[in-house]
Amino acid sequence: MAGYILRRLLQAIPVFIGTTFLIYFMVFALPGDPIIALFGDKTPNPAIVAQLRAQYHLDQPFIVQYLIYMGGIFRGDFGISFSGQPVTEILARTFPVTLRLAVIALLIETIAGILVGMIAGLRKGKIFDGTTLAVSLILISLPVFVIAFVAQFVFGVQLGWARTTVGTGAPTQDLILPAFVLASISFAQIVRLTRSSVIETSGLDFVRTAYSKGLGRRRIVPVHILRNSLIPVVTYLATDFGVLLVGATVTEGIFNVPGVGNTLYQAIIRGEGPTVVSFVTVMVLIYLLVNLAVDLLYGLLDPRIRYVK
């Protein structure tokens, strides 16, 4: 077991190098000169542009830029944004907020999604199943910005149940409404996944055996059916966690969450290589750990799965 974990952690190194290289290249490949854009609609003085390009190493070939950046990382220097702030500071400021938001959203979608999916699966073809499908269809057919606007207007402005935007210090209660909006994106996926998995598991021999042994539903459903249905769901949730960490741009923008999504989006649009790569790098490391945890969790959910041979 320890050997397996160690091997997995070592694999993070090539992933780290591969990811940073790929992302740095993508930012590099973005057409347009980020320095020229700093001057807005005004045409800048070429001499100043040249000096600023040199300051951010943008005048170097791609591979040199990449190596300069990687060299900095190993000295603990993640670079400086165009606004003159160390990227590490930006990271330290935004990541905790987004992490909290992601965890709350994940909790909501996990609890609601699994519960609803399970009931729908157990009562396949009944009214509850049909209603769930209808709700899922509505949620999935509306882009997140529509859901966010409507939620903000209804719950924030009209009913006053929640703050319209996130307040100073991003208190957790302010994050609940945006978290619900985020959770709604994946809700349909988790419901469908849980439902199909529960239906499939319900037909398996050991469930029928359990019924014929005279066990009650109260025991069979959580212990036999749900536990054995969770593997694909847990896997999907883990990937969704990764999405929540970087992909919440729109929701964070509408609710003014001072988190990763917004900062990262701006950095992408402005072509700030070091900022983009540093953010994604941290996110990759978290994601690798989460995936490792999930792989280990498989063994608990299905004892037949063994990694250590």
Partner 1 sequence: MKIRRYGVSFAALAVASALVLTGCSGGGASTPATNANTTAIITTNGSEPQNPLIPTNTNETGGGKITDNIFAGLVYYDEKGAPVNDMADSIETTDSTTFTIKIKPNEKFTNGEAVTADSFINAWQYGALLSNKQLNSYFFADIEGYSEDADSPLTGLTKVDDLTFTVKLKAPAADFPLRLGYTAFMPLPSVALTDVAAFGENPIGNGPYKLASTGAWQHNVQIDLVVNPDYTGGRKPQNGGLTIKFYASADAQYADLQSNAVDVIDQIPDSAYSTYQSDLGDRAVNQPAAVFQSFTIPGRLPHFSGEEGQLRRQAISEAIDRDTITKVIFEGTRTAASDFTSPVIDGWSDSIEGSDVLKYNADDAKKLWAQADAISPWSGTFQIAYNADGGHQGWVDAVANNLKNNLGIDASGAPSPTFAQVRTAITDRTIQTAFRTGWQADYPGLFNFLGPIYATGAGSNDGDYSNPDFDALLAKGSSETDASAANKDFQDAQSILFKDLPAIPLWYSNVTGGYGTSVSNVHFGWNSVPLYYEITKG
Partner 2 sequence: MSNDFTETPVAGSAASARSRGHFVAPLEETPLVAIDAVKVAEKRSNLWIDAWRDARRRPIFWISGALIFLVLLVAVFPGLFTSVAPNNDCQLSLSNGAATAGHPLGFTKQGCDVYSRIINGTSTSLTVGIIVILLTTVLGVVFGAFAGFYGGWLDSFLSRIGDIFFSIPYILAAVVIMSVLSEYRSVWTISLAIGIFAWPSTARVLRAEILSVKQSDYVMASEALGVSKLRILFRHVLPNSIAPVIAITTISLAAAIVAEATLSFLGVGLGSDIMSWGNEINQAQRDIRTHPQTLIYPSIALSVTVFAFILMGEVIREALDPKARALR
178 makes contact with partner 2 (CB under 8 A): no
Q: Locate tokens 């490792």: which residue? A: 292
114 binds partner 2 (CB under 8 A): no
Part of the chain binding partner 1 (CB under 8 A), chosen from 71-79, 110-118, 127-135, 151-159: 151-159
**Which is nearest to 100 in space by CA: 258, 297, 285?**
258
| 15 near partner 1, rule: CB under 8 A | no
Under rule CB under 8 A, residue 180 binds partner 1: no
d(CA 78, CA 86): 7
Contact flag: residue 157 with partner 1 (CB under 8 A): yes
CA–CA separation, 241 and 300 (whole Å): 20
Q: Which stretch binds partner 1 (CB under 8 A): 3-11, 20-28, 87-95, 111-119?
A: 87-95
Only segment of 40-48, 81-89, 101-109, 230-238 that touches partner 2 (CB under 8 A) = 230-238
The two structure tokens encoding residue 239: 């990937």
**Selected binder of partner 1 within 20, 152, 186, 228 (CB under 8 A):** 152
- 163, interface contact from partner 1, partner 2, none, CB < 5-8 Å by kind: partner 1
Alpha carbon distance 83, 273 (integer Å): 13
Q: Site for partner 1 (CB under 8 A): which residue of 14, 125, 160, 214?
A: 160
Residue with Cβ nearer partner 2 (216 or 303)? 303
Of the candidates 42, 46, 84, 141, which one interacts with partner 2 according to CB under 8 A? Answer: 141
User: Is residue 39 near partner 1 by the rule CB under 8 A?
Assistant: yes
Question: CA 303 to CA 78: how far, in whole Å?
Answer: 42
Please choose, from the candidates 170, 188, 292, the residue with its C-alpha nearest in 3D space to the C-alpha of residue 238.
292
∠ CA 222-223-226, rounded to 5°? 50
CA atoms within 13 A on the CB side of 46: 0
Q: Which residues contact 156 (CB under 8 A, 6 or more apart)?
A: 162, 163, 164, 165, 177
CB under 5 to 8 A by kind: which of partner 1, partner 2, none does 86 bind? none
Q: Report the nearest approach of partner 2 to the CB of residue 49 (Å).
A: 20
Contact between 91 and partner 2 by CB under 8 A: the answer reads: no
